Amino acid sequence: MIVEGPVVSPQDPASDPDEVWPPEPDQHWDATMTATLTSTLNRPDAQAHLAAATPPAVDPPPLVGPPLYGGNHARQPRIETVPPAPDQQPQWFRELNLDPRHRIVGGLGTRIVQAEQEGLMLGAWNQVVGVEAANRALRLAQLAKHVSASLHQRHLSRLSEAAVVSTTERVHAKLLQSPARSIWADVNDSALPPAVTTGAFRRLTRIRGPVAEVAVLAQESRAAAVESLTVRDDHLSADWVLAYANPTVSPA
């Protein structure tokens, strides 16, 4: 059988009839040869399934058949023959193993890999170093995600909005309120004084502190009064700026 290959002769096919490739149908095996090849390729897999179904008293020697190119990469241990399995199998996998032209190229590629296996394995191990570093970074990111979710559920989710604003003051510049704007920028541009979010203000206005006791006599109202200094019921920051307008003078 003469099949087309990747190497092309520089001779003009018109001047040299030997350089003319045979027609496309003549470069394929006939149906009988293809069926024989398929049976031979599937024989090791059939033996493995038969041994699993009915374990023999003595294990027979494993069958070694022609290589099934790409089988491990595509997780295909055999050439499917019973419909609809053939249509569900990758087309490239069937062409690679049943077309003589592709099997020739697959065999040459196998020879190259075998000849260069030491260098290829060295390159593969060098890549694994980067993969391990990437996997470690992913694991740390997943750990940080779960720890953050646990801290939020146990602590931040129980706080009021005013307490959350003051408690997270240290990370306002690192958290985004919108895709292009941080929480710190929103607080800085609002009517709320930035000092309200600091720890010093939090200690000064603590519910059981002297300032709150003097400002609000009713103990049950102190928490709401302190929170209203930062956040109102309408979720807007409190405006501490008092606007003054001249009184309207009626004309004499």
Looking at residue 91, its pLDDT comes to 92
Could you tell me which residues come within 8 angstroms of residue 21 by beta carbon, excluding any fewer than 6 positions away?
2, 4, 27
Name the residue with tokens 């592709």: 102
pLDDT of residue 228: 76
According to the model, what pLDDT value does residue 196 have?
80
Q: With beta carbons less than 8 A apart as the criterion, state whether 106 and 81 touch.
A: no
What's the pLDDT at 16? 65
Distance separating alpha carbons of residues 188 and 194, to the nearest angstrom: 6
Count of CA atoms in the C-beta half-sphere (13 A) of 3: 13
- Count the Cβ atoms, other than its own, within 10 Å of residue 183: 19
Within 10 Å of residue 192's Cβ, how many Cβ atoms? 20
pLDDT at 61: 78
pLDDT averaged over 10-residue windows placed end to end, the chain, 252 residues: 66 65 78 91 86 69 86 90 86 91 89 93 88 92 94 85 81 85 83 79 81 80 77 58 58 58
In angstroms, rounded to a whole number, what is the distance separating the alpha carbons of residues 155 and 24? Answer: 73
Task: Provide the residue ranges of all domains of the chain, joining segments of one domain with +.
Answer: 17-103, 116-158, 160-227
Burial (Cβ within 10 Å: 0-12, 13-18, ≥19) of residue 124: exposed
Residue 249's alpha-carbon distances to 134, 178, 243, 245, 252, in angstroms, are 74, 46, 18, 12, 9
216 phi, psi to nearest 5 deg: -125, 110
